[in-house]
Amino acid sequence: MNAAFVLYDNLTALDLVGPYEVLAGHSQVTPHFVAAKAGKVRSDNGLALHADFAFDDVPTPDVIVVPGSSQWRSALDDEVLIAWLASVHKTATWTTSVCSGSTLLAKAGILTGRRATSHWAVVDTLTDDGAVVCNERVVVDGDVITAAGVSAGIDMGLTLAATLFGEMAARTIQLALEYDPQPPFDSGSPRTAPPEAVAFLRAALNGS
């Protein structure tokens, strides 16, 4: 099973690495880091990642994982990336996104009429490209899975792992990762975070 983990300039690293750690260790998965061209790609916080393959080298992946970016509006102008997503989705078994990566799927026409989610600060923009917005952590609609912000990529990966390999395999992966969230604060949602933090991030992520 060929899995394409999509890289592009200024992606959010954990969006990609979270589901990668969940899925890539399974014996049935062959991971491919893909980008418009092979080589180094930097995340939005400066982490250097490496694309082993260009998009043209991976024309028919079985699974597609699309991360988001804190600079998601700029990513929407990446015509090469959008065109590749629109093309490979047609033959993929699963197309997935994490955080604002769903805005790229929407731009590619993949979410038209589908239920989908994204980071809380940008999720409502999905309606501009025909998606049905859902404020849930992971949303499955047909052969597309979208996840909410950043850390939700691990949940998405486990959801997909359970579908692909069975619940016991997914549970075992969760245990191997010791994914047992016990955060020191209850600010992981706009419902519980301080209002000033919500306002700051909403403005920052929407370029205002």
What's the pLDDT at 208? 55
Q: Which pTM value belongs to this model?
A: 0.96
Instruction: For the chain, list the strands marked E by DSSP.
Output: 2-6, 30-35, 39-42, 48-51, 53-54, 63-66, 94-98, 115-116, 132-133, 138-141, 144-147
The bridge status of strand 39-42 relative to strand 48-51 is: antiparallel
- The answer to whether 54 and 72 are in contact (CB under 8 A) is no
**What domains appear along the chain, each with residue ranges and CATH number?**
2-182 (3.40.50.880)
Residue 53's pLDDT is what?
A: 98
> 17, 7, 110: which is closest to 55 by C-alpha?
7
Residue 134 is a catalytic residue: no
pLDDT tens, 9-39?
A: 999 999 999 999 999 999 999 999 999 999 9
Q: What tokens appear for 30 in the block?
A: 């062959």
CA nearest 132: which of 91, 102, 96? Answer: 102
Catalytic residue among 7, 11, 41, 99: 99
